Amino acid sequence: MKVTIVDYNSGNISSVINSFKEVAKDRVKIEVTADLNKIKSSDKVVLPGQGSFKSCVDALNKINGLTEALHEFAINNKKPLLGICVGLQMFADIGYEETETNGLGWISGKVSKIDNQNGKYKLPHIGWNQINIVKQSKIFENIENNSHMYFVHSYEFLPNDKNVISATTDYSTNIVCSVEKENIFGTQFHPEKSDKIGLQVIKNFIDL
């Protein structure tokens, strides 16, 4: 089996790569590339994202044919794809970080700044927070509710269809921290920085 981590120059993804390699051991081939044919021929794809919504979308769009290849992989061929942090946010129709920017439009909704209640809550939201698992999700196998995950973000994904939400976290408001829609999975938290529990999420995705 081949799992491809999409490297589209969106910041440092070495911890994502290292965590996947640690979990995969010798069972699974981990490829790190933006090569369209390699992505299309993968069994699973990981879409990381660091920085702003706009910078990540711009970086994806700079690589000719990449968004189309991802669309073909996840939407047409229904193969498993995991978005991490901004990788999840880009599933939305639109984001409002820096400027209004169109997302991939895979899960209808928008990405808006977290309501910090006039400075009562610090932004970015950085650190460990409990997650509340609200629906049975394949990537939460063997993970207890109220486990702690690691977050770094100032913006949140607001999906139109609340049925896609698989977990939330409480920070100022109830923030969506993971989604599952058929073959598409996303986490706002960083599984690669969330210790053993995060590695379990990665293992669950690889084992799908």
What one-character DSSP code corresponds to residue 74? I
Active-site option among 97, 156, 180, 192: 192
Among 60, 63, 66, 68, which Cα is nearest to 86's?
60
Alpha carbon distance, N-terminus to C-terminus of the chain: 11
* Residue 85 designated active-site: yes
What one-character DSSP code corresponds to residue 117? T
Give CA separation, 15 vs 93, 120, 157, 176, 200, in Å.
28, 31, 23, 23, 15
φ, ψ dihedrals at 105, nearest 5°: 75, 30
* Residue 190 designated active-site: yes
- ω into 191 cis (within 30 of 0): no
Decide: residue 162, CB within 10 A, 0-12 exposed, 13-18 middle, 19+ buried.
Answer: exposed
Active-site option among 56, 153, 177, 190: 190
Angular region, 63: left φ>0, alpha ψ -120 to 50, beta rest: beta
Active-site option among 56, 85, 153, 180: 85
Whole-angstrom Cα distance, residue 148 to residue 150? Answer: 7
Q: Could you tell me if 3 and 43 are in contact, meaning their C-beta atoms sit under 8 angstroms apart?
A: yes
Which sequence positions are flagged as catalytic?
85, 190, 192
